[in-house]
Amino acid sequence: MDFVINPLTEAECKYTYAQSTQIEGQTGCIGHLRGDFGSGGNEFFTSWFDHRRDLKTDQFKNELDEVINALRSEEYGLLKSRTDMSQYAKSRPDSAFEGSYTTEYGFRADTEKYAFLIRCNPTRGDYNFYCYCYVREWLDRHMEKASRGIRFITPDYKEKFIIPDGDKIRIALSDGEQLDRTCRYINENYLEVGSNLYHICEFAERMEQNGNTVIPLRSSLPEQCYVFVQTENCVGIVKKGESGFYRTDIQGGKPSETNALVNEMNEKLGLTKAQVEAMKAGSMFGWGTPAADPKSYDKNGIPVKPKQKDYER
């Protein structure tokens, strides 16, 4: 049969793991196949798990069999053996992503009607692959909408900030405790915070009623960066989600030399100027401000004009 296989995009990787009932419904997740190659690496053991049994048609079952058999063939080899999987995946470095506890590899195989998202881990002793199966049109439609991000608003519908699907927020409770939660896009008006489903206005109202505050923990930001503290002519450290800076004993001599040292240290960390400027803004003005988002800057760290966005209530 004809199908196309490509490495997963960053957004697609999220759909190679178990999802909530709401997301399974939105994406048309039919079920998933779990498999491993046994202790010798050349066997083939699988288990099937239903998610949307009503979508498991004869056509789907036939196409699943054909795709899996093709991936076990010499032509593809991805699911032929553990060694073949390792060779196939590592020859395509753009398929690698950080999984729950190790580097994994992801691929998407598309037929006309279905999408098969495959997460691979060619390690002995682990399950070697998970193949999550979707109605292609449903998955693509949901992902296109999710790419617009998750809105956080005030109870009167004023926008506070937007985060990408799958990013985290930090909830500061009135008693000082902090909770970090992953958020998932459901639709324009609903989101998941951890394992809980909320209307975006309901979530805003609950936070306000309980005296809680919410900030984004953007995955596009590093955990920390170095900053030049001009008033003290020293190097400081800014940490994501925290106000102010931590003073260090690092000094570079003249202010211009200290500033140059900070730039060099951030470059060694692989940080962009946009990330550094966003980190500085977040530590000074709050992490929910547009200035705390790297997208608000060009490659030289210069602020760019924000785009206007219209949403329907």
The pLDDT tens digits of the residues spanning 156-167 come to: 999 999 999 999
Residue 302, in any domain of the structure: no
pLDDT (0 to 100) of residue 312: 46
State which residues form the domain around 63: 4-144
Closest to 90 (Cα-Cα) out of 45, 124, 123, 126: 123
The amino acid at residue 313 is: R
Examine residue 27 and state whether it is found in any structural domain, yes or no: yes
276 is a domain residue: yes
Do both 104 and 139 map to the same domain?
yes
Q: Would you state the pLDDT for residue 3?
A: 81
Provide the token pair at 54.
């009503």
Report the number of distinct structural domains present in the chain: 3
Task: For residue 125, tell me if it sits in a domain.
Answer: yes
Same domain for 140 and 8:
yes
pTM score of the predicted model: 0.87
Contact (CB, 8 A) for 148 and 47: no
pLDDT of residue 9: 96
Same domain, 84 and 181: no
Question: Which of 174, 199, 217 is the last residue in one of the domains?
Answer: 217
Domain-embedded: residue 303: no
Compute the distance between CA of residue 212 and CA of residue 207 in angstroms, rounded to an integer.
5
pLDDT for the residue numbered 100:
82
> CB under 8 Å to 87, separation ≥6 — which residues?
77
| Residue where a domain stops, chosen among 163, 189, 217 | 217
Q: Is residue 186 located within the same domain as residue 212?
A: yes
Both 8 and 139 in a single domain? yes
Contact 297, 306 (CB under 8 A): no
Q: Are residues 8 and 127 in the same domain?
A: yes
Among the listed residues 135, 132, 167, 136, the one whose alpha carbon sits nearest the alpha carbon of residue 149: 167
Centroid of chain to Cα 49: 24
* Same domain, residue pair 129 and 158: no
Q: Which residues contact 9 (CB under 8 A, 6 or more apart)?
A: none
For residue 1, what pLDDT is reported?
A: 67
- 297: how many CB neighbours lie within 10 A of its CB? 20
Q: Are residues 14 and 128 in the same domain?
A: yes
Is residue 158 one of the residues assigned to a domain?
A: yes
Give the span between the Cα atoms of 247 and 276, in whole angstroms: 17
Given this model, what pLDDT does residue 249 score?
87
Alpha helices, DSSP H, located in the chain: 10-13, 21-27, 58-71, 82-90, 136-146, 200-209, 255-268, 273-285
Report how far residue 85's alpha carbon sits from residue 128's, in angstroms, rounded to the nearest whole number. Answer: 9
- Same domain? 94 vs 176: no
The answer to whether residue 102 is domain-embedded is yes
Q: Of 137, 82, 139, 129, which is closest to residue 107 (Cα–Cα)? A: 129
Residues in the chain, pLDDT under 50: 311-313
Task: With respect to residue 312, please indicate whether it lies within any of the assigned structural domains.
Answer: no
CA–CA gap between residue 259 and residue 251 (Å, rounded): 9
Last residue of a domain, one of 172, 199, 217: 217
Same domain for 16 and 110? yes
Q: Report the pLDDT value the prediction gives residue 154, as an integer from 0 to 100.
A: 95
User: Is the domain of 130 the same as that of 195?
Assistant: no
Per-residue pLDDT at 251: 75
Q: Please calculate the CA angle 12-110-97 and round it to the nearest 5 degrees.
A: 30
